[in-house]
Structure 1
Amino acid sequence: MDVLAAVLALLAALLFAAASVAQRRAAAEVPDEAARGGRLVARLVRSRRWWLGTVGDTAAYVVQAAALGLGSVLLVQPLLVSTLLFALPLEARHSGRPITTTQRWCSGALVVALALFVVVGEPTAGVDRRPFVDWLPVGVVLLMVTAACVVGAGGRRGPRRAALLAAAAGICYGLVGVLTKSVVSLLTTGLVPLLTGWETWVLVVAVAGGTFLQQIAFGAGPLSASLPAVTVGEPVVASVLGVLVLGESIRAGGPVLVLIGILIAVMIVATAVLARSTTITPPAATRTGPTS
Structure 2
Amino acid sequence: MASRPEGRAPVIAVILAILAAACNALSSVLQRRAARTAPESDAFKLSLMWDMMRKPVWLGGIGALIGGFLLQASALNFGTLALVQPLLITELPFTMVIIWLMYRVKLNRNVWLAIISVTVGLAVLLASARPGGGHKAPTPGDWAIITVICGGIAAYLIGMARVTRGSHRAALLGTASGLGFAFTAALMKESTRLFDTEQAEVLTAWPVYAMVAAGIFSVYVLQNALQSGNLVVVQPTLNVTDPVASIALGVGLFGESIRLGAWVLLELLGVALIFFGSVRLAQSPQIRQDDLMGPKE
Output one character per residue of 1:128-179: Cα deviation in whole Å (capped at 9) or x when no partner: 6311112222221111112222233333333333333333222211101111
- Residue 256 (structure 2) pairs with residue 245 (structure 1): no
Residue 54 of structure 2 aligns with which residue?
Answer: 46
Quick one: structure 1 residues 236 and 275, their matched pair in 2 at CA, closer, same or farther if it must change by over 3 Å?
A: farther
Single out whichever of 241-250 and 44-53 deviates more from structure 2: 241-250
Quick one: structure 1 residues 166 and 4, their matched pair in 2 at CA, closer, same or farther if it must change by over 3 Å?
A: same
Single out whichever of 30-39 and 226-235 deviates more from structure 2: 30-39
Distance in structure 1 (CA, Å) of the matches to 2:82 and 2:150: 19
Report how far residue 85 of structure 1 moved.
Answer: 0.7
Distance in structure 2 (CA, Å) of the matches to 1:208 and 1:172: 9
Residue 283 of structure 1 aligns with which residue?
Answer: 294
Quick one: structure 1 residues 120 and 160, their matched pair in 2 at CA, closer, same or farther if it must change by over 3 Å?
A: closer
Please state whether the residue corresponding to 1:179 is helix, strand or coil: helix
Quick one: structure 1 residues 7 and 115, their matched pair in 2 at CA, closer, same or farther if it must change by over 3 Å?
A: farther
- Residue 70 (structure 2) pairs with residue 62 (structure 1): yes
Give the counterpart of 2:270 among 263, 270, 287: 263
Q: Which amino acid aligns with 1:2?
A: P
Please state whether the residue corresponding to 2:160 is helix, strand or coil: helix
Residue 82 of structure 1 aligns with which residue?
Answer: 90
Quick one: structure 1 residues 283 and 109, their matched pair in 2 at CA, closer, same or farther if it must change by over 3 Å?
A: closer
Please state whether the residue corresponding to 1:245 is helix, strand or coil: helix
Give the counterpart of 1:131 among 109, 124, 139: 139
Report how far residue 41 of structure 1 moved.
Answer: 1.4
Contact 1:19 1:56 in 2 (8 A): yes
Residue 45 of structure 2 aligns with which residue?
Answer: 37
- Residue 179 (structure 2) pairs with residue 168 (structure 1): no
Contact 2:131 2:247 in 1 (8 A): no
Report how far residue 207 of structure 1 moved.
Answer: 0.5
Q: Which amino acid aligns with 1:188?
A: D
Distance in structure 1 (CA, Å) of the matches to 2:233 and 2:250: 27
Residue 5 of structure 2 aligns with which residue?
Answer: none
Give the counterpart of 2:197 among 182, 186, 189: 189
Quick one: structure 1 residues 75 and 39, their matched pair in 2 at CA, closer, same or farther if it must change by over 3 Å?
A: same
Structure 2's unaligned 5+ residue stretches are 1-8
Output one character per residue of 1:191-216: Cα deviation in whole Å (capped at 9) or x when no partner: 44212222112211111111111112
Report how far residue 68 of structure 1 moved.
Answer: 1.5
Quick one: structure 1 residues 6 and 116, their matched pair in 2 at CA, closer, same or farther if it must change by over 3 Å?
A: farther
Single out whichever of 34-43 and 87-96 deviates more from structure 2: 34-43
- TM-score when scaled to structure 2? 0.82
Could you say what the CA RMSD is over the residues aligned between the two structures, in angstroms? 2.9
Q: How many aligned residue pairs are there?
A: 285
Q: Which amino acid aligns with 1:249?
A: S
Report how far residue 34 of structure 1 moved.
Answer: 5.0
Contact 1:19 1:53 in 2 (8 A): yes
Quick one: structure 1 residues 78 and 245, their matched pair in 2 at CA, closer, same or farther if it must change by over 3 Å?
A: same
Contact 1:126 1:248 in 2 (8 A): yes
In percent, how many aligned pairs have the same letter? 29
Report how far residue 273 of structure 1 moved.
Answer: 5.8
Distance in structure 2 (CA, Å) of the matches to 1:46 and 1:158: 25
Contact 1:84 1:275 in 2 (8 A): no
Output one character per residue of 1:24-43: Cα deviation in whole Å (capped at 9) or x when no partner: 11112335555663232111
